[in-house]
Amino acid sequence: MPRETKIKYDPSLSVAENAKKCGVSVAAIRYYIKTRGIDRRYEGKVKVVEGMKAYLAEHPNATRAELQRATGHGINTIRRYWEVLHGTEELPTNQNKSTIREREKVVSHKRHITYLNKLPIEFLREYMQAREAAANAEIEATPEVVEVAEQPPKKARAKTKKPQAPRANSTIRCTDEFVYFYQNTPLSNWWASNPRIPYDGHDFASSEALYMYLKARGLGDDKVANEILALDDNAKLTDRQRFAKAKSLGKKCKFNNYVFLANREKWMYTALSAKYEVDEEFRRVLMSDEYRGLTFVEASPRDVNWGIGLSVSAAYEGKAWKGKNLLGKLLTKLRDEHLGTNTTQ
């Protein structure tokens, strides 16, 4: 704790000068100032005003500019204390934060009243009536609040998971020729299949994960294929996170462009066929009478190979496609093969 007995504080000196004079640290001087309630800012103002008063005593007719040049203070400082120097005002002391807040409330209230005075009388009457009604409603509601507060606390109920809403085909829109779809539909590769898709002795959560596995195996990268299989063992990941990681792993395969372009549609069709065998909801949407004779289109705004490079709304409005729609064509082919027709263009 600072040794206060040694401190002989001199208001005319700075904190550092007082510390040097008393042989203590700057922190000790600041602690002394804080515990004694000394207003350093007020003392600084007094020092400034006394210096300017001394100059005005010798030059009583000095202007503000002359006083500024003589004392070295800024013009704003001169203006702030000009009335104090001539005795028409007292030097203001520093206000604490609570006083400042109260003053701000008063100023805010005055501005509010000024604003209300500018309003037409009918608006002002409506405002006062609404304010009075709100105050009465608050008074009437007070006993109910007290009554509720006096009731014994309710027992904490165990948290239960909210039932998930049924997955709807909210992003499917049809025209006379096309069925536009994107995510959150059974037609999407990111749809979590239930039950999982069995293939090669493994179970896959989506056709996207199975496609990436087939891609890694087809390109001869068994390491990436095993990493994709290991994603199902990570219980911390959600289904969507697994699909995203499977896709990112698939992009890290040892790439052979010729092999990839020659086999990518075959790999995807294999994944879709395996999904068709087990996913009843996928079969129901794919074989729906509503979509019979129409071409499926993946309206993915960021994919110009499997999708068309447009969103569902943009495609529905008739904007020109930017992509190849490979996934949509394969879905149409799968549907037509099971129907025994051929509408794939």
Contact between residue 325 and residue 297 where contact means Cβ atoms under 8 Å apart: yes
In the chain, the amino acid numbered 135 is A
> Is 136 inside any structural domain?
no
Q: Same domain for 250 and 299?
A: yes
> Is 155 inside any structural domain?
no
Complete DSSP assignment for 99-121: HHHHHHHHHHHHHHHHHHHTS-H
110: Cα separation from own chain's centroid: 37
Q: Same domain for 326 and 184?
A: yes
Q: Same domain for 74 and 106?
A: no
Q: Same domain for 198 and 262?
A: yes
pLDDT band with cut points at 50, 70 and 90 for residue 113? low
> Is 153 inside any structural domain?
no
User: CA-to-CA distance for 143 and 131, rounded, in angstroms?
Assistant: 20
146 or 256, greater pLDDT: 256
What does the DSSP 8-state code read for residue 231? G
Mean pLDDT of the chain: 77
Q: Same domain for 250 and 203?
A: yes
> Is 93 inside any structural domain?
no
- Could you say which of 25, 57, 85 is where a domain stops? 85
User: CA-to-CA distance for 86 and 250, rounded, in angstroms?
Assistant: 83
- Could you say which of 110, 131, 152 is where a domain stops? 131
* pLDDT tops 50 at residue 97: no
> Is 263 inside any structural domain?
yes
* pLDDT tops 60 at residue 165: no
pLDDT band with cut points at 50, 70 and 90 for residue 87? low
The reported pLDDT for the residue numbered 181 is: 92
Q: Same domain for 196 and 326?
A: yes
Write out pLDDT tens, residues 32-45.
877 776 766 666 67
Q: Same domain for 60 and 126?
A: no
The reported pLDDT for the residue numbered 178 is: 92
* pLDDT tops 60 at residue 107: no
pLDDT band with cut points at 50, 70 and 90 for residue 246? confident
Beta carbons within 8 Å of 281's beta carbon, 6+ residues apart: 167, 186, 194
> Is 45 inside any structural domain?
yes
Write out pLDDT tens, residues 200-240.
888 888 898 889 889 888 888 888 888 888 887 776 777 77
Least Cα distance to 307 among 191, 220, 189, 223 occurs for 189
Average pLDDT over residues 42-57: 75
208 membership: H or E segment, kind and range = helix 207-218
Half-sphere exposure of 101 toward its Cβ, with a 13 Å CA cutoff?
3
> Is 327 inside any structural domain?
yes
Q: Same domain for 330 and 254?
A: yes
Q: Same domain for 314 and 178?
A: yes
Q: Is 190 left (phi over 0), alpha (psi -120 to 50) or beta?
A: alpha
The reported pLDDT for the residue numbered 9 is: 79
> Is 143 inside any structural domain?
no
Q: Same domain for 299 and 205?
A: yes
The reported pLDDT for the residue numbered 275 is: 93
Check which CATH number belongs to the domain holding 294 and give it.
1.10.357.40
Least Cα distance to 170 among 189, 184, 186 occurs for 184
User: CA-to-CA distance for 308 and 286, rounded, in angstroms?
Assistant: 19
Per the structure, how many domains does the chain have?
Answer: 3
Structural tokens at position 127:
């405002």
The reported pLDDT for the residue numbered 41 is: 61
Q: Same domain for 77 and 190?
A: no
Bridge partners of 179, per DSSP, are 174, 296
Q: Same domain for 48 and 179?
A: no
Domain housing 79: 4-85
b/e 94-133 (16+ beta carbons within 10 angstroms → b): eeeeeeeeeeeeeeeeeeeeeeeeeeeeeeeeeeeeeeee
* pLDDT tops 90 at residue 55: no
